[in-house]
A = this chain, B = another copy of it.
């Protein structure tokens, strides 16, 4: 039994080695399919465990899964998953929010990959398979050309129309303020009540600490935070939180 196990372990390692290193086209089609299925399963498990916050602090997408992640993040499934999350926001708003209408009802959004998509950048920069290059990413952000995630734009407007105050809390640097505002307005977002970016002192904090501190200030000012929409768990966790939080999919990068 032990021998069989050892043998199949060696065998499956050879398989994975081949999958990563070799030119797939030289393989027997049946082997190629088996390899493909097993790699797909592995990468799908990686992705789902990122989504539920079991896998944390990754610096790059595992090399063998970059293609899988790119495929998902540019697929109609990614779009459908985001839309379903935002439908749940709508459901929550319609059924559960007893808004006071005193100007203190608040809602929070992330910016990147929540309001704006960074996918056009990552498409040209290894799709998560390369270590985050802040200089290059920020120079892209300065172009203010990130497209809107259109379904988030819809829900943004709906929340605003309900009379809630919208606060954007982003881990982008304060120095990117004008480019960020230009970008947001250009693709259709307007009428938010606050946009928090990270000043020099905030950069010493982890993202979750920084975002929680901003929410604490809002709560201290008397705001009731009904919801948060974000693509990173660090936008949703920590105290104070919100009545409800909503996680959008993103398995390209991790912000702690």
- Using CB atoms and an 8 Å cutoff, list the residues of chain A in contact with chain B: 41-42, 44-46, 48-49, 51-55, 76-77, 80-81, 83-85, 88, 245-247, 249
Is B54 touching A51 in the complex (CB atoms < 8 A)? no
CA–CA, A203 and B182, complex, Å: 53
- Chain B residue with the shortest CB-CB distance to A48: B81
Is B77 touching A44 in the complex (CB atoms < 8 A)? yes
- Chain B residue with the shortest CB-CB distance to A244: B56
CA–CA, A2 and B49, complex, Å: 40
Given contacts A41-B77, A42-B80, A80-B41, A88 and B49 within 8 Å (CB-CB): yes
Chain B residues whose C-beta falls within 8 Å of the C-beta of A46 in the assembled complex: 84
CA–CA, A167 and B45, complex, Å: 27
A247: contacting residue among B54, B76, B83, B249, CB under 8 A: B54
Chain B residues whose C-beta falls within 8 Å of the C-beta of A246 in the assembled complex: 54
Question: What is the copy number of this chain in the assembly?
Answer: 2
Chain B residues whose C-beta falls within 8 Å of the C-beta of A80 in the assembled complex: 41-42, 44-45
Which 5 A-B pairs rank lowest in CB-CB distance, beginning with the nearest? A45-B84, A52-B247, A45-B80, A54-B85, A54-B88
CA–CA, A229 and B76, complex, Å: 32
Q: How far is the CB of A139 from chain B (nearest CB, A)?
A: 32
23 A-B residue contacts at CB 8 Å?
A: A41-B76, A41-B80, A42-B80, A44-B77, A44-B80, A45-B77, A45-B80, A45-B81, A45-B84, A48-B51, A48-B84, A48-B249, A49-B81, A51-B51, A51-B52, A52-B52, A52-B247, A52-B249, A53-B245, A53-B247, A54-B88, A54-B246, A54-B247
Q: How far is the CB of A233 from chain B (nearest CB, A)?
A: 9
CA–CA, A246 and B55, complex, Å: 9
Q: How far is the CB of A160 from chain B (nearest CB, A)?
A: 21
Chain B residues whose C-beta falls within 8 Å of the C-beta of A83 in the assembled complex: 45
CA–CA, A250 and B192, complex, Å: 37
